[in-house]
Amino acid sequence: MANITKKVSWSSRGDDSGLAGEGTPLLNGTEIPKPSRQLSGSGSVFRIGRFSTVDLEDDITSEEDPIRGRPKEIPHNEKLLSLKYESLDYDNIENQLFLEEERRMSHMGFRCLEISRWVICGLIGILTGLIACFIDIMVEKLAGCKYQVIKENIEKFTEVGGLSISLILWAVLNCAFVLVGGIMVAYIEPIAAGSGIPQIKCYLNGVKIPRVVRLKTLLVKVLGVICSVAGGLAVGKEGPMIHSGAVVAAGVSQGRSTSLKRDFKMFEYFRRDTEKRDFVSAGAAAGVSAAFGAPVGGVLFSLEEGASFWNQMLTWRIFFASMISTFTLNFFLSIYHGKPGDLSNPGLINFGRFESDSVAYYYYELPLFMGMGAIGGLLGALFNSINYWLTIFRIRYVHRPCLQVMEALLVAAVTATVSFTMIYFSNDCQPLGPEHNEEYPLQLFCADGEYNSMATAFFNTPERSVRSLFHNQPGSYNPLTLGLFTLTYFFLACWTYGLAVSAGVFIPSLLIGAAWGRLCGILLASFTPTSPIWADPGKYALIGAAAQLGGIVRMTLSLTVIMVEATGNVTYGLPIMLVLMTAKIVGDYFQEGLYDIHIKLQSVPFLHWEAPATSHWLTAREVMSSPVTCFNRIEKVGTIVDVLSNTSTNHNGFPVVVQVLDSDEPAKLCGLILRSQLIVLLKHKVFVELARSRLSQRKLQLKDFRDAYPRFPPIQSIHVSQDERECMMDLTEFMNATPYTVPQDTSLPRVFKLFRALGLRHLVVVDDENRVIGLVTRKDLARYHLGKHGLEELQLAQT
């Protein structure tokens, strides 16, 4: 088998990289790679053939050829890269049109642009806050109704018998909500499933996930999350907020909606990937900030997840959007709660205040906290591993929408059943507190004036359960209750994440962690009867929650700040940081973070911070795709249409070459043109002949390209007549005349750095005479990763 088709693993011996790095001449030998030009049938597609190998590997070459073209099918796994994902064009296309427009723009124009950026950020904040407010109120209303109905039913049937009917009622109500949410997600917009954080992470990384920032996605996401939380699943509404914020940002910044076919003629300058992506990072920050009441945490989240392209002004704008978002949520919630102007509801999840003396901590507790962090890391790794296998199973077998909806329904029913059984068989009765912390106290078989303690954990929306775990008096839960709760909720949450409903994983993780953290606190207090003051269960619940969340999602800086901001207590910064660090170190030893797992399973070409270690010996020549489809500077329309229509090679960027008159000389690189540009050109029929005949024809402007953005029509929808196929097209004006290029001996980490730092989409590999010999794209780089057996290569697949 040849090295391309099989999974290749390089041995990770230390001398590999060193030898390869310095030994390039040795390995290359002295031969000069001579490209052999092959002219394809039409004659104008310029291809550069493989190197004729002077060495002894002719046998390998011949071995390799027959394998090409035979499509091989394998079951889905994590070591694939999907073809459906494309890169964003973060890099500015500096063609002549762009320069012209810049020349025409006055100083005032640039000022206005800057101001409108601020306005957009403000709008993003306001809209995100409003959406958060809407979700919060709807969930509260719907869940309130549901729990009220079930509570009355249970009370009735406790007296006269027939509690199994209450159980069925609970399950049916849950299923009804989840059915609505599931159908919306599975049939209308599958990309809205899950928390959306992996998708936003990919988007900020520079991958264009299809349909991820559309209005339809936003609607499905918002309604879906209301349904799934009200449907009693083990989910939270915080993750989806981040996605919602990102969609809002992408929509507002464009000043139009393609779905609604409305163009407000605003913000036209921002209709390109560069600007849009900056606003999306602001939107994600605003979402975090609305979800947790953590504006700084939001900014840091954006920084941590998509930080390749940052500058001070952008950070400042993003912070502005975050602040506005949390303020808006605050303001409208205060009106809703009947206390207008009281700005004390900063986020969707409110951890409550940790202020009393009992929640102070001492230096001797830090090792305990770190121990809890380690437990969190272990449990998180377990959670992720189970979820990993479950997700693979789902991708392979549960891929039809009807099956997905059925699965969601089953999870909803089982969640209700398990909760009910737990409550039914629980003997933990606690006296009703004077201030009624419990929203829906269930008495069941407890003595009058007492309530079932298990019910406060299960018979409630997850956020409220978290808060009662943090803040209820010591002694409101007995250890058995907490242990059982942790166990069941762990598996429920793990089973739920990845269903075809829009739902976040933050709150379930916090809830699991808070439960076992509180358990730790109670046990500590019972071991040390002399000094129970410091072992406040609420404090340990908080630490446990941080540990569990850190163990599952493995975020670092932003999560620390989010937790600190959500508790409103800066003194917890140190323990939370230590806990998250320990959880991440311990967890990373066993398994990746949940979001990274899902990104991998989606086969997204995700570029990490660094190229894999021990990859310096790989050069651009091995990494690049070759041969490259190139266009001449003045190209025949027919050729262009043929190349674009070729479904087997769905290329997006084409180097433009210029032929020297002497035909023996190979063509030299003079620019780069994108598929989207070519399509716009074809649509407007910018042909040399037509321009000559119709002199009055308006010159194409950058605006025409922006109007088509972001959904460029497919090539099939553009009609080119037989006569027009014979016309010629001059690409000089439209191509990016100065594309980034690298020589062929550049090492992989260097290429990687260029991609990551500049947000490139195409990188042309040239030889010393500026002849195109290959093209590096994101997928070429993303396929290398450091596996258990050294450097491994991912395979490309059609998904």
Residues in region 25-54 near other proteins by CB under 8 A? 27-29, 31, 33, 50-51, 53-54
Of 337 and 399, the one with the shorter C-beta distance to other proteins is 399
One residue of 135, 370, 372, 446 binding other proteins per CB under 8 A: 446
The residue among 260, 306, 309 whose CA lies nearest residue 284 is: 306
Of 142 and 398, the one with the shorter C-beta distance to other proteins is 398
Cα 680-686-691 angle, rounded to 5 deg:
160
Stretch that binds other proteins, among 59-67, 293-301, 357-365, 534-542 (CB under 8 A): 59-67
d(CA 96, CA 146) in angstroms, rounded, equals: 62
d(CA 716, CA 759) in angstroms, rounded, equals: 29
The secondary structure of residue 448, as a DSSP letter, is T
Q: Least Å distance between CB 575 and other proteins?
A: 35
Stretch that binds other proteins, among 38-46, 283-291, 416-424, 746-754 (CB under 8 A): 416-424
d(CA 375, CA 366) in angstroms, rounded, equals: 14
400 scored as a contact of other proteins (CB under 8 A): yes
Of 50 and 111, the one with the shorter C-beta distance to other proteins is 50
Site mask for other proteins (CB under 8 A), range 346-365, x = bound = --------------------
445 scored as a contact of other proteins (CB under 8 A): yes
The secondary structure of residue 648, as a DSSP letter, is S
767 scored as a contact of other proteins (CB under 8 A): no
Cα 33-19-607 angle, rounded to 5 deg:
80
The whole-angstrom distance between residue 629's C-alpha and the CA centroid of its chain comes to 32
Site mask for other proteins (CB under 8 A), range 774-793, x = bound = x----xx-------------
Torsion of CA 693, 699, 700, 703, to 10 degrees: -150
Site mask for other proteins (CB under 8 A), range 521-550, x = bound = ------------------------------
Dihedral sign computed on CA atoms, order 34, 39, 44, 46: negative
Q: Least Å distance between CB 411 and other proteins?
A: 8
Of 284 and 765, the one with the shorter C-beta distance to other proteins is 765
In the range 677-706, which residues lie near other proteins by CB under 8 A? none
d(CA 606, CA 762) in angstroms, rounded, equals: 15
The residue among 793, 367, 752, 774 whose CA lies nearest residue 543 is: 367
Q: Please state the three-class secondary structure of 269-307 as a single string.
A: HHCCHHHHHHHHHHHHHHHHHHHHCCHHHHHHHHHHHCC
According to DSSP, the residues that pair with 630 across neighbouring strands are 46
Site mask for other proteins (CB under 8 A), range 555-594, x = bound = ----------------------------------------
Work out the number of other CB atoms within 10 angstroms of the CB of residue 37: 14
How many chain residues are in contact with other proteins, going by CB under 8 A?
Answer: 89
d(CA 754, CA 739) in angstroms, rounded, equals: 12
Q: Name the region of 256 (left: φ>0; alpha: ψ -120 to 50; beta: rest).
A: beta
In the range 136-155, which residues lie near other proteins by CB under 8 A? none
Of 73 and 768, the one with the shorter C-beta distance to other proteins is 73
The secondary structure of residue 65, as a DSSP letter, is G
One residue of 544, 551, 627, 655 binding other proteins per CB under 8 A: 627
Alpha-carbon separation of residue 590 from 329, 378, 786 (angstroms): 39, 8, 15
Q: Beta strands of 563-651 (E only): which ranges? A: 631-632, 634-636
One residue of 21, 83, 378, 385 binding other proteins per CB under 8 A: 83
Q: Least Å distance between CB 141 and other proteins?
A: 21
Q: Least Å distance between CB 7 and other proteins?
A: 11
621 scored as a contact of other proteins (CB under 8 A): yes
Of 233 and 444, the one with the shorter C-beta distance to other proteins is 444
72 scored as a contact of other proteins (CB under 8 A): yes
773 scored as a contact of other proteins (CB under 8 A): yes
Of 327 and 440, the one with the shorter C-beta distance to other proteins is 440
One residue of 158, 259, 274, 308 binding other proteins per CB under 8 A: 158
Please state whether beta strands 429-431 and 262-263 pair in parallel, antiparallel, or not at all (unpaired): unpaired
Q: Least Å distance between CB 414 and other proteins?
A: 6
One residue of 307, 418, 708, 786 binding other proteins per CB under 8 A: 418
748 scored as a contact of other proteins (CB under 8 A): no
One residue of 622, 665, 707, 726 binding other proteins per CB under 8 A: 622
Q: Least Å distance between CB 792 and other proteins?
A: 12
Whether the Cβ atoms of residue 458 and residue 485 lie closer than 8 Å to each other? yes
Alpha-carbon separation of residue 197 from 193, 200, 284 (angstroms): 10, 5, 9
Site mask for other proteins (CB under 8 A), range 369-398, x = bound = ------------------------x-xxxx
One residue of 162, 433, 713, 743 binding other proteins per CB under 8 A: 162
Alpha-carbon separation of residue 80 from 150, 400, 797 (angstroms): 46, 21, 6
Residue 86: what residue type?
Answer: E
One residue of 38, 344, 701, 799 binding other proteins per CB under 8 A: 799
399 scored as a contact of other proteins (CB under 8 A): yes
Stretch that binds other proteins, among 5-13, 321-329, 358-366, 471-479 (CB under 8 A): 5-13
In the range 205-224, which residues lie near other proteins by CB under 8 A? none
Alpha-carbon separation of residue 741 from 79, 88, 92, 98, 671 (angstroms): 29, 18, 15, 21, 10
Of 27 and 260, the one with the shorter C-beta distance to other proteins is 27
Q: Least Å distance between CB 597 and other proteins?
A: 18
Of 116 and 795, the one with the shorter C-beta distance to other proteins is 795
d(CA 325, CA 369) in angstroms, rounded, equals: 33
One residue of 252, 413, 505, 553 binding other proteins per CB under 8 A: 413
Please state whether beta strands 790-793 and 784-787 pair in parallel, antiparallel, or not at all (unpaired): antiparallel
Of 140 and 450, the one with the shorter C-beta distance to other proteins is 450
Whether the Cβ atoms of residue 104 and residue 195 lie closer than 8 Å to each other? no
Q: Least Å distance between CB 610 and other proteins?
A: 22
